[in-house]
Amino acid sequence: MALVELGSTTHARPAPLMPGVPDPVFYAGAAGLLVLTFALLALRGRRRAARREHAWRYDLFRIPGLGALVRHRGLQGSLQLAMALLLILVVVAGLAGNPAPERNIATILTWTIWWTWLVAVVLVLGKVWCTVCPWIAIADRLPRSFRLGLRWPTALRNLWPAIGLFVGLTWLELGYGVTGKPWLTAVLGLSMLALAVSTALVFERKAFCRYACLVGRVSGLYSMFAATELRAADGDVCRRCATKDCYRGNDAGAPCPTHQFLGAMKVNTYCTLCAECVRSCPHQNVAWNLRAPGSDLSGGRRLATDEAYLSVILLSMSAFHGLTMTPWWDRIVAAIRRSTGVGELVAFTVGMATMLALPLALYWSVCLLVRLAAGERERSTFQLFLRFAGSLLPIALFYHLAHNLQHVFYEGAKLVRVASDPLGYGWDLFGTASLSPGLLLPARVGWTLQVALILIGHAYGILIAHRTARVLWPDGHAGLRAELPLLAAMVSFSVLSLWLVAQPMLMRSAL
């Protein structure tokens, strides 16, 4: 497959473009999207969803030896050590290695492999990155005598610190081209470490993980869709428990780092899968359940205000990320510069702010239409904003996966090459330095998978919206009227996702 060159406004030199899905595949995907929407609308109400507490679950700890393996600190410690060594490699390579991103393991390992793996694994294992996170693993090794143990400020006990860091990182990544700069990638890794260490020194437990870590908070919201969950095996046992060791800790396990009581935990969002509750529970009442994906969202759960805003921001920033890697973004930035006379970075910032605000405004307008269509008088537009925000998460998550998949197919094989020469010094440690990277899978397979992922996310979004409407308006007619504006918006978002993967896409590093 031929690659072309693009002179990006956010990159110092021309970079090759990966071809998007062909027009026939795009139109087939768009047609499938409409058919899927009408089919799910026609089936609406035919089959009542199972009650959440009776939904299918299988406790993976029933597998002999798995519970003991998870309780053993050696497993988690070994995985954290491996991740810490990779972090050191990224920092050393980024600061001392070849500045060309295609010849430096820091950029390829971080942005092509880790960031894609992180989002994909959330689908199955939830926030397993938190289990092996090297930043907090290093912070945990600080002597206890150095720590102040202060409580996190009340005004910041929400997701807004993490949301600010997430938007800021997106601006830094795309505005300054972090993915194409090994040294800046290393600085970013060190900055995350500094945040984890400084908060561990000042605040109690793991305040950074609970409130400020942008990686944990993004994956935490996505993890409500995960196919696994850590929960109490028997709620009655937790209610009768007087010591609440899962929350307070004991000699066997530390207190929950994010202040979760297992008996009351209903969603995956704030669980870091640290397994301390598995170790500390004196009744062995912890289950690691395999479940249907999206279970945390299937009951029409109302998101908190910060969670709802993050859901919409994830949708807008995922689309923005894809747009900036297409030729269209150069034209948009150029148009802003011509019309305003501002510099390139200011024009980029204006464009990003617009892309951030537009989906929020659109979704707010849709919620207003939902309220009017349902004849709702008791609930405000803002309450509906909170109620239906969860239905946007699958659309954002699966587009995120589809976008990253393209980078993996076209650029993933570069890891084999740079593994032999991680610093770009001309080494050939494993005999693969001269390897010519190719596609990991045939292009048609990649295109099909991208379209399929977007359709899956769209279908789950519709199902979650339907179940939410059924909770709010049990009579059905008002719920059906209310869903129509939301379905129209979902179709628009999903068609945009298909259009984005159909555009030529900028590589994160040259061949």
Rounded to whole angstroms, the Cα distance separating 471 from 485 reads 17
Apex 359 CA angle, 22 and 392, nearest 5: 75
Rounded to whole angstroms, the Cα distance separating 226 from 220 reads 10
Contacts of 197 (CB under 8 A, 6+ apart): 135, 138, 139, 142
Helix (H, G, I), strand (E, B) or coil at 5: strand
**Tell me, what's the pLDDT at 484?**
92
Nearest to 454 by CA among 416, 402, 408, 412: 402
End-to-end Cα spacing for the chain:
13
Nearest to 39 by CA among 455, 447, 474: 455
Q: What is the pLDDT of residues 319-348, one digit of tens each?
A: 999 999 888 999 999 999 999 999 999 999
Helix (H, G, I), strand (E, B) or coil at 479: helix
**Tell me, what's the pLDDT at 177?**
82
110, 189 in Cβ contact below 8 A?
Answer: yes
Query: How many other CB atoms are there within 10 angstroms of residue 413's CB atom?
Result: 18
DSSP string spanning 345-367? HHHHHHHHHHHHHHHHHHHHHHH
Owner of token pair 């397994």 = 275
Instruction: Please provide the average confidence, as pLDDT, over all residues in the chain.
Output: 89
510, 16 in Cβ contact below 8 A?
Answer: yes
Nearest to 468 by CA among 333, 310, 294: 294
Antiparallel, parallel or unpaired: β 57-59 and 286-291: antiparallel
Owner of token pair 């990686």 = 215
Q: What is the pLDDT along the chain (511 residues), one digit of tens a residue?
A: 444 333 444 444 456 778 889 999 999 999 999 999 999 988 875 555 444 445 789 999 999 999 999 999 999 999 999 999 999 999 999 999 999 988 899 999 998 889 888 888 999 999 999 999 999 999 988 888 888 989 999 999 999 999 999 999 889 888 888 888 999 999 999 999 999 999 999 998 889 999 999 999 999 999 999 999 999 999 999 999 999 999 999 999 999 999 999 999 999 999 999 999 999 999 999 999 999 998 998 877 789 999 999 999 999 999 999 999 888 999 999 999 999 999 999 999 999 999 999 999 999 999 999 999 999 888 999 999 999 999 999 999 999 999 988 888 888 888 888 999 999 999 999 998 887 777 777 888 889 999 999 999 999 999 999 999 988 998 778 888 999 999 999 999 999 999 999 998 877 665 4
